[in-house]
Chain A
Amino acid sequence: MSEDYRKMWEDLGLDLEAHDQLLAVIPQMYGDVYMSQKNRPEGMSYLDFVMSEIHGLRVKELLDLKAAGGKVVGAFCLYVPEEVVLAGGAACVGICGGADWGAAEAEKVLPRNLCPLIKSFMGFKLTKVCPYFESSDMIVGETTCDGKKKTYEVLGEYTNVHVMHTPQTKDESSSKLWLEEVKKFKETMEELTGNTIDAAALAQGVATVNAKRAALRRMNEARKASPVPISGKDALLIEQVAFYDDPVRFTQMINKVSDELEQRIADGTGVAPADAPRILISGCPMAIPNWKMHHIVESTGAVIVGEEACIGHRYFRDMVDESPSDLEGELTAVADRYMKLDCACFTPNKERLENIMQLVKDYNVDGVIHYALQFCDPFTVEYNSVERTLKEAGVPVLKIETDYSMEDAGQLSTRVEAFMEQIKEMQGAIV
């Protein structure tokens, strides 16, 4: 990234010294994890460029939008209706929460034994190193889990936070509550931006986000092929960047990647041999730059064919119905789409088990790695039913509970390698 951005970062109020340290780490990490891969699709050069400009060009675009009177909304969760944010003429960005950064600062206001994602975003805020955080005019939180819900109270002391009340069951009263929350959020967006969100504006927002989700679906469709034309690491990166890139440009670029992937399938080109174990990762979101698990798994020669997670299938599986033409109908369609999400914060959550089994079948999965962040109660507890469902179907499953630090990398590698041995021996038995 060029020096030209220093003034921009300084004006944003970043701690330049700490920010320099952060920016020195990322290229090294990216080089080790990404540039070491062989036979990557050429279209990934766009993602390389986005990563090289991670705190540069995109931030500049957001600041240009603000200078022109637009607003920036930051979010951490799939429940924040991006369609409504775009309808207000604002930009929606996912806030950094995937690195072991600022933990000591975060622990001044948060307990030690807390989800690393929550600690990470609080650390980024308190150490003033995330330009997306600092550019945001409003942060939208949600009541998905206890850790986040209570942390938004603390975060509210530092920045403008709007919390959406997400339900935890899927009955009629919950749907009603959620529709009310979506309407309230629309009003909040109108107040923030000064723009009226009418039927046409919301239809546009819905169309843009649906197109983005469709592009991600198409890219993932290619991962069903054998040999797989794209690595799990590259696919994860695309799914991560989806949360903060310009949605229209991102959609175009990812469709170009998919053109290439489809050509690769026709040519029989893959990133791993056709007999490489096909792994599904299921569980907690992996926020950028959390590539730890994918790197460990793919370093053993296996290939990840899907992320059953918020940064993954949960983000693009369901579309908003575009048929309503009146505002009330559109808002209901938006709310309905979000009620289909199968996050572990719901009870009961049988849909998730069904969706996992569907992915196992569609993507010809040899084994599932259940990935949970430490102290994530919803996902660590729900593991029991995931394990039972998979074992009953004869699908090998490995449970991993970890954080962003690398101190357990050696042990994780051993467990993942042993899991691959187990899968290969089972495959050997079938042949």
Chain B
Amino acid sequence: MFVGIDIGSRSIKVVALNGEGIADYNIVDTGFNPHERSLELIKPYNAQKIVATGYGRHFAREDFADSVITEIKAHGVGSHYLFSNCRTIIDIGGQDSKVIALDERGRVADFQMNDRCAAGTGKFLEIMARTLGFSLEAFGSESLKADKAVKVNSMCTVFAESEVVSLLAKKEDPRKIALGLHQSIVERVSSMLHRVGITDDIVLSGGVGRNPCIKKLFEQKLGRTLYRYENPEIAGALGAALTAREQS
């Protein structure tokens, strides 16, 4: 078995590959002890080789991983395996968002990544969903029910939260505010997308890929279909597992 583990800020993902394809996968919350969680996750697999990625990759290398790759390469490899015509990837994770351009062979040709704060990431959406009283799962679908958006000006998680609270105090419809928040994320990531450029198919990867509103807004803005794997959050772990198989 070839194992890829993606130790993210919000969740840890593991993918086990055999000769044919994905044999198993698992996702858990990162929790307070990512190290222990990671060890539990890889335990069931009789791993021949383990490749780690995500922010926790370096501690993994010190302990149990055979090698490490960055999230950028991992999402590139994983998405290209799932969608062979994919040349552009939008990956919105827990604490960072990135746009990756691949060359015709699936190698990373260029990338953009958000600078330092969590604006425009999964964590931002999570906090906003809570402030508006939605579950994270329903946040995207509820936003899509709004007929128009209320603009939220701030992209800073802390300031946006107070802006949302005052909009609620003005009796604005939470769904409209939610739509406005989704729009602001799409705007922000789009500027990275334009810097990198779009070639062929675009894949939406990472946990935020599950959010139907983000997908729809990108499609409206770009005038094209975005591809998405059924479990978008495991694309990075899959890329790590594929790298483990290739390195063997």
Contact = CB atoms under 8 A, between A and B. Distances in A.
A128 interface: no
Contacts of B55: 410, 414
A414 B113 contact: yes
A414 B6 CA distance: 14
Contacts of A411: 96, 113-116
Secondary structure of the A contact surface, majority rule:
helix
Interface in A382-416: 401, 407-408, 410-411, 414-415
B71 A421 contact: no
Interface stretch (A33-41, A150-158, A224-232, A422-430): A422-430
A425 B107 contact: yes
B107 A401 contact: no
Given A407-B116, A411-B115, A418 B73 contact: yes
Interface in B55-72: 55, 69-72
A321 interface: no
Contacts of A418: 70-73, 108, 111, 113
B115 A408 contact: yes
A221 interface: no
Contacts of A422: 107-111
Interface of B: 55, 69-73, 96, 105, 107-111, 113-116
Given A411-B96, A414-B71, A426 B116 contact: no
Contacts of A426: 107
B116 A421 contact: no
A429 B55 CA distance: 28
Given A408-B116, A414-B70, 10 more contacts: A414-B113, A415-B113, A418-B70, A418-B108, A418-B111, A421-B69, A421-B70, A421-B73, A422-B108, A422-B109
A417 B107 contact: no
B164 to A, nearest CB: 25
Nearest to B96: A411
Contacts of B96: 411, 414
A414 B98 CA distance: 11
A421 B73 CA distance: 7
A410 B57 CA distance: 11
B54 to A, nearest CB: 9
Contacts of B113: 411, 414-415, 418
Nearest to B105: A429
Contacts of B105: 429
Contacts of B110: 422
A107 B227 CA distance: 48
A425 B108 contact: yes
B115 A401 contact: yes
A415 B55 CA distance: 11
A401 B112 CA distance: 12
A407 B69 CA distance: 22
A418 B76 CA distance: 11
> Most A CB atoms within 10 A — which of B55, B70, B105, B113?
B70
25 contacts: A407-B116, A408-B115, A410-B55, A411-B96, A411-B113, A411-B115, A411-B116, A414-B55, A414-B70, A414-B71, A414-B72, A414-B96, A415-B111, A415-B113, A417-B70, A418-B70, A418-B72, A418-B111, A418-B113, A421-B70, A421-B72, A421-B108, A425-B107, A425-B108, A429-B105
A379 to B, nearest CB: 16
Nearest to A414: B70
A297 to B, nearest CB: 14
> Most B CB atoms within 10 A — which of A401, A410, A425?
A425
A63 B111 CA distance: 51
B121 to A, nearest CB: 12
Contacts of B109: 422
A7 B100 CA distance: 57
B70 A429 contact: no
